[in-house]
């Protein structure tokens, strides 16, 4: 709603609720008895364990939500941002070894709008995103961070809560 947004995580068999309820982007839901916890970066998140989720249909007093899409040229250190740009560069995925011995993956993509360009850093499974030069990429929930190596001085760092949409219908 207009006061902000929160992550709501479904676990194990509860993931099937999305299909069972016929949920799509933009649908309104009512969440009952969710568990809250402090997640990464001290953000509060909700989890579905013993709660209920209901799809809301019809006329209800639903709080307004207006997405704030920032222009790339106005980049500064901000958390939880939404940006849209044309993909202008795609770097190869880099594999690295974590301290625990598992493999990690990182990939950088540059997006551009009429105000400038910025590097978007993708991690893990997001490095497999099917995207090509000329596609439009919408990044929702990324963090803009200062970066000595970026041309603009900033980059968008994605995280486990970032949503990426290639060629979204709405801009």
Which residues is 139 bridged to in the sheet?
Answer: 83, 164
Please tell me the predicted confidence (pLDDT) of residue 15: 80
Name the DSSP class of 62. Answer: P
Which position has the token pair 């639903």?
62
The pLDDT of residue 42 is above 80:
no
Please tell me the predicted confidence (pLDDT) of residue 116: 93
Q: What is the pLDDT of residues 65-101, one digit of tens each?
A: 667 799 999 889 988 889 999 999 999 999 999 999 9
Q: List the structure tokens of 138.
A: 């919408």
The pLDDT of residue 34 is above 80:
no
Please tell me the predicted confidence (pLDDT) of residue 50: 62
Q: Which residue has the higher pLDDT, 7 or 166?
A: 166
From the number of C-beta atoms within 10 Å of its C-beta (0-12, 13-18, 19+), residue 9 rates as middle
Please tell me the predicted confidence (pLDDT) of residue 85: 96
Per-residue pLDDT band for 145 (boundaries 50, 70, 90) equals: very high
- C-alpha 70/C-alpha 51 separation (Å) is 35
**CA-CA distances (angstroms) from residue 141 to 49, 102, 110, 162?**
24, 26, 17, 5
Element (H, E) at 17: helix 17-20
């Amino acid at each position: 709603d207009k006061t902000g947004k929160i992550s709501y995580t479904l676990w194990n068999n509860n993931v099937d609720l999305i299909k069972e309820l016929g949920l799509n982007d933009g649908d309104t839901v009512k969440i009952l008895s969710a568990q809250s916890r402090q997640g990464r970066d001290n953000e509060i998140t909700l989890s579905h364990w013993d709660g209920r989720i209901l799809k809301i249909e019809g006329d209800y007093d639903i709080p307004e939500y207006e997405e704030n899409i920032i222009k790339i040229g106005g980049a500064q250190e901000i958390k939880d941002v939404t940006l849209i740009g044309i993909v202008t560069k795609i770097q190869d995925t880099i594999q690295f070894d974590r301290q625990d011995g598992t493999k990690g993956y990182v990939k950088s993509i540059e997006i551009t709008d009429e105000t400038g360009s910025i590097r978007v850093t993708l991690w893990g499974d997001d490095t497999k995103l099917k995207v090509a030069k000329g596609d439009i990429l919408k990044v929702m929930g990324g963090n803009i961070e200062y970066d000595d190596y970026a041309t603009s001085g900033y980059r968008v760092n994605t995280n486990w809560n970032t949503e990426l949409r290639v060629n979204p219908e709405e801009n």
